[in-house]
Amino acid sequence: MLFLLNDVVFQIDPPCPAPLRDERRFQPLGLDSVIELACELFSEHPELHRTHPERAHRIAWLLAKASDGLNAALFTAPHKGCAPELVEPRFGALPLPFIQHLEQRARTGQLAPNEACEQVWGPLAA
List phi, psi (to 5°) of 111: -95, 110
Give percent of the chain with pLDDT exceeding 90. Answer: 67
* Burial class of 42 by CB neighbour count within 10 A (0 to 12, 13 to 18, 19+): buried
pLDDT of residue 79 exceeding 90, the answer is: yes
Residue 117: band (very low, low, confident or very high) from pLDDT cuts 50, 70, 90: confident
| Greater model confidence, 14 or 69 | 69
For residue 12, give the nearest of 51, 82, 63, 47 by alpha carbon: 63
This prediction's pTM:
0.84
pLDDT of residue 86 exceeding 80, the answer is: yes
CB atoms within 10 A of CB 46: 20
Contact 84, 36 (CB under 8 A): yes
pLDDT of residue 119 exceeding 90, the answer is: no
Q: How many CA atoms lie within 13 A of 25 on its CB side?
A: 7
Residue 122: band (very low, low, confident or very high) from pLDDT cuts 50, 70, 90: confident
